[in-house]
A and B are shown apart, each in its own frame.
Chain A
Amino acid sequence: MLEIKGLRAGYGGVEVLRGIDLSIKSGEIVAVLGSNGVGKTTLNKVLSGVLPASAGEIVFEGRSLTRASAVDAVEAGLIHVPEGRKIFPNMSVRENLELGSYRRASKNRASNLERVFNIFPRLRERTDQAAGTLSGGEQQMLAIGRGMMAEPRLLILDEPSLGLSPLLVEEMFTLIQSLNAEGLPIMLVEQNVVQSLETASRAYIVENGAVTLSGPAETIRNDPELKRAYLGL
């Protein structure tokens, strides 16, 4: 459902993505892994239209999104839950969720709100609380909930486990699996290699702006090179 070919992008004159090839099929959880600074977040920004691609192409559900704006990407249902959450700190939990359906699925706002509250009962208890005063874990739930409000066709999660306690990390990966169990394809962008490989069906390893290794999560988990580089084995 998502095909990325030879994608290049960067900031100013500095190239960060040096030809990324990647694909996601419907119903999959695909992990995109790599250490800090290799270009994972940059890739997400290009996919969601906030950063232009300098070369290559992006096809989403048969439609080119290569030159798409952020508005186009959201309209197409490609929903990006960003690193660092980027929730609206000055607004209530409810308003944050409502804005999730600003561009897409606004007709089903009430029923989707109910659905998000059922997935995250903690958010229901805090409907009128300012989002900036939530704990880190709650903010992450809110960011994902806000993404769900747009009825995503593909959900991109950028480092959802970052800064969470080990218990919450566990909860987060369980949640990702249960969202996917309802048929939602997920692109899971993480530094947490071990747990991501347990959750995903396939994975891509990114180094220095290019994919260096890809395949079924199972295979990658047993790759000797990966074990040495990321798992310290």
Chain B
Amino acid sequence: MYSLDITLEAVLNGLLTGAVYALIALGLTLVYGVLHIINFAHGALLTTAMFAVWVAYTFLGIDNYVLIPFLAVIFYALGYALQRFVIGPASHGDDGNILLVTLGISIVLENALLAIFRSDTRSLTSDFSFEVLEVGPLLISKPRLIGFAAALVVTLLLWLVLARTDTGKAIRAVAKEKLGASLVGIDVRHIYAVTFGIGCATLAVAACLLMPTFYVNPRVGGAFVLVAFTVVVLGGMGSIPGALAGGLFIGVVESLSGLYLGESLGQIGIFLIFILVLLFRPTGLFGARA
């Protein structure tokens, strides 16, 4: 058994990481909830965004936090174009095709990154990565604290957009009733692309928040996406509050099982939960609400 302080610190660290997991899961769950597809390119797009952060920081000297709005806009446009001009037209409305198209995109992206950057692992060389905040006996990593706060803000923003704006309402309408949406003049293909764009923009933000304390190589996205899938299943496919709660929960589980089972077994706790949820609560712990 560990002391209370150490356990508390592990829980805290888990929450900090979990918020960024939630952010990564957000795009996945939103795209699933609206387009009813599982985006297999999610991980490769995250990797691409992380390399973009690294390149901007290393060669252009752009701070990763300053980069957030710019990269978000670029990735929104990229996601919009991908859905509108590649995934949509190539799939002919067939879900099986969409799956293959997103898988194809992920292979293309990964190999392009491999060709450009080799399989080396890179990280930002910044002193800020190691700065900590002392709260009583606890040491809290500053970049992870910022990541936590920013991830919560982005989740809240997205929730507000979906709840309050016409575009957000159109997204929710298309998710449940395509024909009804068309008949009030909603351009369903446009809304699909907007949704995919938002999913990519949240990945861009996540990449900016992750990079100070993480590394990037052409395959890194896969590890995050496995966790994000667990979060999505746990929170209920298509549910945004579910993704947030699921992300925080998974972060804590990973951190605690890492503490008690050892760093290399930390992710076992996650997959145990994944399997248990699939067996006993396939609709997710928090029910499904889009």
Contact = CB atoms under 8 A, between A and B. Distances in A.
Q: Decide whether A and B are members of one complex.
A: yes
Interface of A: 48-50, 69-71, 73-75, 79-82, 85-91, 95, 98-100, 102-104, 106, 146, 150
A98 to B, nearest CB: 7
Given A91-B173, A99-B169, A102-B170, A86 B185 contact: no
Contacts of A48: 182-183
Interface string B161-188: 0000010011011011101111111110
Interface of B: 166, 169-170, 172-173, 175-177, 179-187, 289-290
A98 B180 contact: no
B183 A99 contact: no
Given A85-B180, A91-B169, 11 more contacts: A50-B182, A71-B185, A82-B180, A90-B172, A91-B176, A99-B184, A99-B186, A100-B184, A102-B185, A106-B166, A150-B185
Contacts of B170: 99, 102
25 contacts: A70-B182, A71-B186, A73-B185, A74-B185, A79-B183, A82-B179, A82-B183, A85-B180, A87-B180, A88-B176, A89-B176, A89-B177, A90-B172, A90-B175, A90-B176, A91-B176, A98-B169, A99-B170, A99-B173, A99-B181, A99-B184, A102-B169, A102-B170, A103-B184, A106-B166
Contacts of B173: 88, 91, 99
A63 B289 CA distance: 42
Given A98-B169, A99-B170, A102-B170, A87 B177 contact: yes
Contact of A90 (B179, B182, B184, B289): B289
B82 to A, nearest CB: 22
Among A79, A90, A95, residue most surrounded by chain B Cβ atoms (within 10 Å): A90
A182 to B, nearest CB: 21
A126 to B, nearest CB: 18
